[in-house]
Amino acid sequence: MKNINFKSRMNIDLLIYLAIIVVSAVILVFLDMNKFEYNYSISIIEKSLVYAVVALSMNIVTGFTGLFSLGQAGFMALGAYTTAILTIPAAARPNVYYMNGILPALENAVVPIPIALILGGVVAAAFALIIGIPVLKLKSDYLAIATLGFSEIIRAVIASPMMDKITNGSYGLKSIPGFKSSLECFAFSLVCIILMILIINSSTGRDFKAVREDEIAARSVGINIFKTKQLSFIVSSFFTGVGGGLLAMFMRSIDSKTFQITLTYDILLIVVLGGIGSITGSIVGAFFVTAGKEILRFFDEPLVVAGVEIPLFKPGFRMVIFSILLMVVVLFFRKGLLGGKELSINGLKKFSRKKDEVSVGGVA
Binding segment for another protein among 7-15, 47-55, 104-112, 137-145 (CB under 8 A)? 137-145
CB of 110 to another protein, least distance (A): 28
Amino acid identity of residue 238, one-letter, is: F
Q: Which is nearer to another protein, 221 or 306 (CB)?
A: 221
Residue 353 in the binding site for another protein (CB under 8 A)? no
Using CB under 8 A, pick the residue from 17, 171, 288, 317 that binds another protein.
317
Q: Which is nearer to another protein, 38 or 265 (CB)?
A: 265
Kindly write out the interface string for residues 44-83 of this chain, putting x where it contacts another protein by CB under 8 A and - elsewhere: ------------------x---x-x---------------
3-state DSSP call for residue 311? Answer: coil
CB 280 within 8 A of CB 197: no
Using CB under 8 A, pick the residue from 31, 80, 119, 235 that binds another protein.
235
Binding segment for another protein among 8-16, 85-93, 245-253, 319-327 (CB under 8 A)? 319-327
Residue 156 in the binding site for another protein (CB under 8 A)? yes
CB of 122 to another protein, least distance (A): 14
Q: Footprint of another protein on residues 191-220 (CB under 8 A)?
A: 195, 198-199, 202-207, 209-210, 213-214, 216-220
Q: What values do phi and psi take at 221, rounded to 5?
A: -105, 20
Using CB under 8 A, pick the residue from 44, 117, 231, 270 that binds another protein.
231
What are the DSSP calls for 260-292, one per residue? SHHHHHHHHHHHHHH-TT-HHHHHHHHHHHHHH
Q: What values do phi and psi take at 288, rounded to 5?
A: -60, -50
CB 237 within 8 A of CB 60: no
Residues 6+ away with beta carbon under 8 Å from 284: 274, 337, 338, 343
Residue 222 in the binding site for another protein (CB under 8 A)? yes
Residue 5 in the binding site for another protein (CB under 8 A)? no
What are the DSSP calls for 95-125, one per residue? HHTTTT---GGGTT----HHHHHHHHHHHHH
Q: Which is nearer to another protein, 179 or 233 (CB)?
A: 233
Q: Which is nearer to another protein, 308 or 360 (CB)?
A: 360
Report the greatest alpha carbon distance in the chain: 71
Q: Footprint of another protein on residues 248-307 (CB under 8 A)?
A: 261, 265, 268-269, 272, 276
The crossing angle, in degrees rounded to 10, of helices 345-352 and 2-33 is: 120
The crossing angle, in degrees rounded to 10, of helices 203-213 and 182-200 is: 70
Residue 352 in the binding site for another protein (CB under 8 A)? no
Q: Which is nearer to another protein, 35 or 314 (CB)?
A: 314
